[in-house]
Amino acid sequence: AVLKKRLVKLVVNFLFYFRTDEAEPIGALLLEHCRITKEEENVFSISFIEEPERKYCFECASEEQCQEWVEALKRASYEFLRRSLIFYRNEIQKMTGKDPLEQYGISEEARFQLGTHQQ
């Protein structure tokens, strides 16, 4: 395991990583079916459920920064966003008596149902 200094940028559910002296990313991690784990005080890791040997460790400048990254990365997956949409959809429906997705003609789509797992 060799430590390399990289800059990272989170865009929706992709974590792009860059060499410190280059503008173009050298790679990206799709944050789906992965586990974000706080390892040490300033260190967290990303490992992939279907490929446990594929693990990336990141060291931050501070404990606070590390916690911010962990929280942001956990909220970045499609599955988290889908579950949030379903939760808020149900809350709005309880308050108003109307399905907020119905006006868009998508309320019955499987991806918006809680029991369905879309990939």
**Domain range summary for the chain, segments of one domain joined by +:** 5-77
- Cβ–Cβ under 8 Å, residues 89 and 100: yes
Q: Was domain 5-77 assigned CATH 2.30.29.30?
A: yes
DSSP code at position 62: S
- In this prediction, residue 115 carries a pLDDT of 59
Q: Is the pLDDT of residue 117 over 80?
A: no
pLDDT digits (tens, 9 = 90+) for 70-114: 999 999 988 888 889 889 999 999 999 998 888 888 878 877 776
Average pLDDT taken over every residue of the chain:
88
Q: Which residue, chain included where needed, has tokens 């991690």?
A: 29
The percentage of the chain sitting over the pLDDT mark of 90, rounded to a whole number, equals 59
The percentage of the chain sitting over the pLDDT mark of 70, rounded to a whole number, equals 94
Q: Output the CA torsion 91→94→100→102 (10° steps).
A: 130
